[in-house]
């Protein structure tokens, strides 16, 4: 599994966890790996797979651990975001953008294996894929202020 695929699965898991309290979220994370394959038709009329979770056990364990680490740091991540997001406190942000920002800030501040520029670029790519038309610029702007 590539780093980009790991980030995307991590994003999806964190996004799902946003809708539950901490205890329920942990239960939901386990269910993520049992989700059926989903496909969709893109603008060109081609069917593409949008969700497929056929992962090796080591990849599942990595994702589970990574998501739990990020979830434990949500209060600190949100505090850091609130300090730089002028006029946009985390409680006002869309869940997609907030999830992407949390993941990127975690990578920037707590994961020495990910350079800041890579974390920002990957966050913008996630925003392009999962967010609205203004999401990439919003995510990029917030993260740029952090560095």
Reading the chain (147 residues) residue by residue, the pLDDT tens digits are 889 989 999 999 899 888 777 777 777 777 777 765 665 666 777 766 555 667 788 988 899 899 999 999 999 999 999 999 888 888 889 999 999 999 999 999 999 999 999 999 999 999 999 999 999 999 999 999 988
- Cα 126 from chain centroid (whole Å): 8
What is the domain count for the chain? 1
Q: Could you tell me the residue range of the domain that residue 90 belongs to?
A: 3-146
Q: Check residue 42 and give its pLDDT.
A: 65
Q: Check residue 51 and give its pLDDT.
A: 57
Q: Check residue 50 and give its pLDDT.
A: 56
Instruction: Provide the token pair at 87.
Output: 């006029």
CATH number for the domain that contains residue 34: 1.10.940.10
Kind plus residue range of the DSSP H or E element containing 135: helix 135-146
Q: Check residue 25 and give its pLDDT.
A: 73
Cβ proximity of 25 and 31 under 8 Å: no
């Amino acid at each position: 599994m590539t780093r980009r695929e790991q980030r995307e699965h991590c994003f999806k898991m964190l996004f799902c966890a946003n809708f539950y309290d901490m205890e329920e979220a942990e239960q939901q994370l386990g269910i993520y790996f049992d989700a059926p394959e989903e496909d969709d038709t893109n603008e060109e009329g081609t069917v593409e797979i949008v969700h497929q979770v056929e992962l090796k056990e080591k990849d599942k364990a990595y994702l589970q651990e990574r998501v739990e680490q990020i979830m434990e740091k949500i209060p600190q991540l949100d505090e850091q975001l609130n300090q730089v997001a002028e006029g946009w406190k985390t409680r006002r942000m869309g869940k997609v953008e907030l999830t992407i920002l949390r993941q990127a800030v975690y990578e920037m501040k707590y994961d020495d294996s990910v350079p800041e520029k890579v974390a920002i670029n990957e966050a913008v790519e996630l925003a392009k894929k999962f967010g609205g038309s203004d999401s990439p610029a919003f995510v990029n702007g917030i993260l740029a202020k952090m560095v």
